[in-house]
Chains A and B, each alone.
Chain A
Amino acid sequence: MNQLLYSKLGTLIKVEPSIATSIGQIQLDRPVMLASGILGISLDVFNRLYRSGAGAVVTKSLSKEPWEGYPNPTIFSVKGDGWINAVGLSNPGAPNFAKIIESNQDVPIIVSLVGSIPEDFEMMIEEFENCTVTAYELNLSCPHVAKVGLEVGDDPELVKKIVTTVKNSTDVPVIAKVGLGTTHYLNTVSTAIDSGIDAITAINTVRAMAIDVETKRPILSNKFGGLSGTPIKPIALRCVYEISSKYNIPIIGCGGISTWEDAVEFFLAGASAIQIGSAIGDNWIDAFSDINNGIISYMERNGFSKIEDMVGIAKKS
């Protein structure tokens, strides 16, 4: 009906392109999400981000028990650009967090989970039974905490068991967030797909460090952290392009995206949606509407009526 109306009136009235997008079964009104680890701690903040233009918010990675994370300094600004963080996956724990989001009705919330064994994930998903959850994102790629994240993602047997277990525990779509570890990330993607994963988020921060030359010591309390922000964008883009070239799986692009041009690059490379994090540190939460508006203008100029029209077309050239 709407489609018909648009096509008839389209020549008379300028119809704004739609930035709604689908990542497999996941339907979002807007393609820019909050990346995991960023601001994801209270429902009030989630509501604010949603009002500010986020299509969905991904929570901080939740563990079975509350985690305090590492002592400060936990974040370091790289001279030039980018951030290195080792927050240490601080989070209130899945049971507490489920209570926080229980009353959520409006915001598409993607719950990020971190654990060491399949049972961790299974138990946590039970906690969210009474919550409206848009999807689960499995953190298989945090580069600075032992026994979880990348250490799990680097173990193909464990990835297989975890994804299989999670898929058997819930009907909600499940996303795997991959990163650059010792196992080639494409192998991790392949394992996750074979185990029934619904979508892939690529990539996480890249393991990195910083040393202060005056005091001659590593700056982060954990010494190692994860590099994020514009320095990793070309790497993330390459990964999205490679995944979409090799596999037929919905992709969420993540890594250093800060402008609408970055977002469009990821769509053209094969991502159906994107996530931002560091950009919020630089441009605050206006980043969401700035990117959304830039995407709309670009689509108008290029005659795209929906996000899907752009996805992966750089591969055809």
Chain B
Amino acid sequence: MQRNHNHPTIVTIEKVIDETPTVRTLVFSDEVMSNVLPGQFAMVWIPGVNELPMSVMISKESGKAAFTVRKHGPASTGLFNIKVGGQIGVRGPYGNSFDIKEGKLLLVGGGTGLVPMMRLLTFVKSTDNVTVLIGAKSKDEIFFEDLANSLLKNNTYQVIVSTDDGSYGEKGFVTDLVEKLVNETHFDAVYVCGPEIMMYKTVQSAHSRGIFVQASLERMMKCGVGICGSCCVGEDLVCKDGTIFDGQHLSSNKEFGYFYRNKAGILENYQV
């Protein structure tokens, strides 16, 4: 029987990698998930716990995929705690993917927002000049720096890490670094995934200079297929119209950067 991508497929966790004390990567075998486009996500069922949307992480081995999760609420902590041999359900892939441009590219990621960036790196051409910006609060929250370096070994590239407290790499907010870089250099495309404020400021920096920019948005999701409406941002549904939106579109969205909806669907403010 042909696989119904809306129906959860049960996979077994084969390897667990500790990225930081609060971030783990769980590797499993699944041909469909191993081949998703950069930015696409899966709905991940943690039996008896919850189900949550996760950007699909790459694996070094073919036919395998992974999820990189930071323990936060009950659902992500449930996923974080899955051991080797544990089973989870995956459905999807869902959502659109980054438009892959050529030339001088800037990829900006914070936390698990780096996941779609790592997959995007597997799609860049060897002729592309790639800058990866990794933003973190402090040194112990940094991961994927080595991975980014190894994925780009055939390119002209730089991987820059910035920490808010200056405990590693450059000191300061990653968005200040973005502003500095786009001011100095012309990029053909900027891609960003991370906390909403990071995305908002990055989109502003790039879009205001006429640079093509795309962000991968995150919202509360229940269905993942455009039925429940939980993930709406203005008139857009993140699961169905996104998760990737370009700067032109986002600049006219009244909610992006300011509001998200809680479980009851009430607008809450990001700035508070």
Contacts and interface: CB of A to CB of B under 8 A. Distances in A.
Contacts of A91: 264-265
Contact of B228 (A76, A87, A217): A87
A71 B73 CA distance: 12
B7 A77 contact: yes
- Could you say which of A85, A215, A277, A284 has the most chain B C-beta atoms within 10 Å of its C-beta? A215
Contacts of B232: 39, 41-42, 44-45
Contacts of A41: 229-230, 232, 261, 265
Given A42-B232, A67-B264, A281 B237 contact: no
Contacts of B48: 217
A127 to B, nearest CB: 15
Contact of B222 (A77, A87, A212, A277): A87
Interface in B1-31: 1, 4, 6-8, 10
B32 to A, nearest CB: 15
B226 A280 contact: yes
A39 B263 contact: no
Interface in A78-123: 78-79, 83, 85, 87, 90-93, 96
Given A77-B7, A90-B230, A219 B223 contact: no
Interface in A236-280: 277-278, 280
A281 B223 contact: yes
A45 B45 contact: no
- Could you say which of A37, A83, A214 has the most chain B C-beta atoms within 10 Å of its C-beta? A214
Nearest to A93: B264
A29 interface: no
B73 to A, nearest CB: 10
Contacts of A217: 47-48
Given A42-B235, A72-B51, A90-B230, A214 B266 contact: no
A287 to B, nearest CB: 10
Name the interface size band of chain B: 35 or more
Contacts of A79: 1, 4, 7
Interface residues of A, number: 44
Contacts of B254: 44
B240 interface: yes
A221 B227 contact: no
A215 B47 CA distance: 7
B226 A68 contact: no
A73 interface: yes
A284 B240 contact: yes
A72 B237 contact: no
Contact of A281 (B8, B47, B75, B226): B226
Contacts of B261: 41
A60 interface: yes
A69 B240 CA distance: 21
A71 B221 CA distance: 11
A90 B264 contact: yes
A44 B229 CA distance: 12
A71 B262 CA distance: 13
Given A39-B227, A90-B230, A68 B264 contact: yes
B87 interface: yes
B10 A281 contact: no
A75 B222 contact: yes
A47 B235 contact: yes
A149 interface: no
Closest 8 CB pairs of A and B: A77-B6, A72-B51, A44-B235, A66-B264, A68-B263, A39-B229, A73-B51, A214-B10
6 contacts: A41-B261, A42-B234, A72-B51, A72-B75, A85-B223, A212-B89
Given A38-B228, A38-B229, 17 more contacts: A41-B230, A41-B232, A71-B75, A72-B45, A72-B75, A73-B51, A74-B223, A74-B228, A76-B8, A79-B4, A85-B223, A90-B230, A90-B263, A90-B264, A215-B47, A215-B89, A280-B227
